[in-house]
Amino acid sequence: MLRKLLISSSSSSSSVLSNGILRRAFPSLSSFSSSLSLSTSSYSSSPQTDTDPSSPNKDETEDTTILQPSLKISIDRSSLYTPPEHSHEPSSDSELVKHLKGIIKFRGGPISVAEYMEEVLTNPKAGFYINRDVFGSGGDFITSPEVSQMFGEGSSKFEKFMKSLNIHMVECSPTLKKLQYNALKCTEEVDTGSGDKTVVSMFGGAPVSWHATLEQVPSGLPTIIIGHEFYDALPVHQFQRASRGWCEKMVDVADDASFRFVLSQQPTPATLYLMKRCTWATKEDIAKLDQIEICLKGMDLTQTIAKRIGSDGGGALIIDYGSDGIVSDSLQAIRKHKFVDILDDPGSADLSAYVDFASIRNSAKEASEEVSVHGPMSQSQFLGFLGINFRVEALLQNCTDEQAESLRNGYWQLVGDGEAPFWEGPEDKTPIGMGTRYLAMAIVNKNQGSPVPFQ
């Protein structure tokens, strides 16, 4: 899946700051503040009442009464998941699989898709993003700046702007921190007076620091936040329409010890967010859907961003693949550039979902009256308004044939739609344009006016 990072950059002066697109950083998803507990310990654990979402006819025989949340929590605390004592065969499960099964057994019932996704991606020991480099042609996905230099150019030409930068990276992966350190060409400088060490980027001499959460980034000064291919990795909750109403889709362990999807038998905490999301859509749109995805973390994160921008000034730029409306069923797993089953070998594939830009817009407006939201517009339009067409023409004037081919391919991938019509190489390497699949949105303090691409 195509990815990049969330960067929060704040100034040591009163000027509004930003920074170029770098490597992607991932948040500590479990650390973002939330106004609602996501505990699933009160879910029914009776196997005969769990409904397989792949068998809709079975659900029609269930009680059609909407059940209320249980006031009692029944949890089997006897043990976490371990192979039966009488078994003399070693378990082939990975540590992450054992951990997930242990959570389900400890809870006495299934876990939400969101919790499964969060563990798979950011588990401190075995999460997909934690201990590996997942980028580039040798990884599991390629990011836009890796497609072409034209995506991230521009800021180095503004000398005063570069000198005022103070870069803050939000990152939970030790491996990716090292990659970012190298990508930024960082070095350590020692203050001769205090002896304190400061990490500085060789690109303009900007100081760089890393944080586990956005809340840890210093506030009180104008800030520009860049979230590029970031929201799509936040965990999503999935709901499916059943005869008794909307039921949350959960992950459970089947009789053969494999993972399976089931439906909750009563309303879950995430149902409150589903109700809020539905108020932002028309009844006609909701009636057309049998499944709905909502991103609680995305809604809460957007409100945190909007409140900070509203009080401190600055803005946020969000670029991701998604839609300007409610999302149905988009969660997917990619391993080595190929789609695989979401429940297959957890931790070995990237999980991502379409970004609900309408939800981001409404969450920002709800959080602060001091911000305005612009877009979304397609990535093709966004880069076009920033002058990518003129830039590619200028670069083509002074390059080799091989470089020209690379520029054309990169240009198409960034702004094109579908397969490149000019490609003459191997079919399995045909450039696929992301110009219309990716959208750009800006959240800015009203005192800053409208961002140039959105005017």
Tell whether the model's pLDDT for residue 78 goes beyond 90: no
> Is residue 414 within 8 Å of residue 150, measured between CB atoms?
yes
Residue 110's region, left for phi above 0, alpha for psi from -120 to 50, else beta, is beta
Residue 225 pairs in a beta bridge with 8, 316
Confidence class of residue 57 from pLDDT cuts 50, 70 and 90? very low
- Token pair for residue 207? 């100081």
- Mean pLDDT confidence for 45-50: 39
Sign of CA dihedral 91, 95, 101, 105: positive
- The residue count of the chain comes to 455
Which amino acid makes up residue 326? I
Place of tokens 């009692």: 72
> Is residue 361 within 8 Å of residue 281, measured between CB atoms?
no
Confidence class of residue 288 from pLDDT cuts 50, 70 and 90? very high
The rounded radius of gyration (Å) of the Cα atoms in the chain is 23
Cα 337 vs. chain centroid, distance in angstroms?
A: 18
Confidence class of residue 317 from pLDDT cuts 50, 70 and 90? very high
Interstrand relation of 432-434 and 291-294 (parallel, antiparallel or unpaired): unpaired
Which tens digits make up the pLDDT trace of 370-380?
999 999 999 99
Confidence class of residue 186 from pLDDT cuts 50, 70 and 90? very high
Sign of CA dihedral 345, 346, 350, 355: positive
Q: What angle do CA 232, 237, 241 make, to 5 degrees?
A: 125
Q: Can you give the pTM of this predicted structure?
A: 0.77
Tell whether the model's pLDDT for residue 360 goes beyond 50: yes
* Measured distance CA(227)–CA(318) in Å, rounded: 5
Backbone angles phi, psi at 370, to 5 degrees: -90, 0
3-state class percentages of the chain: helix first, strand second, coil last, to nearest 5 = 30, 25, 45
Tell whether the model's pLDDT for residue 26 goes beyond 90: no
Choose among 173, 177, 180, 178: nearest CA to 127: 173
Residue 200 pairs in a beta bridge with 187, 207
8-state DSSP, 327: B
> Is residue 12 within 8 Å of residue 165, measured between CB atoms?
no
> Is residue 28 within 8 Å of residue 213, measured between CB atoms?
yes
Tell whether the model's pLDDT for residue 386 goes beyond 70: yes
Kind and range of the H or E element at 160? helix 159-163
> Is residue 371 within 8 Å of residue 309, measured between CB atoms?
yes
* Measured distance CA(73)–CA(353) in Å, rounded: 31
Considering only residues 106 and 68, tell me which one the structure prediction assigns the higher pLDDT: 106
Name every residue whose Cβ is closer than 8 Å to that of residue 8 and which is 6 or more positions away in sequence. Answer: 168, 169, 170, 211, 214, 217, 223, 224, 225
Name every residue whose Cβ is closer than 8 Å to that of residue 278 and which is 6 or more positions away in sequence. Answer: 286, 292
- Mean pLDDT score of the chain, rounded to an integer? 79
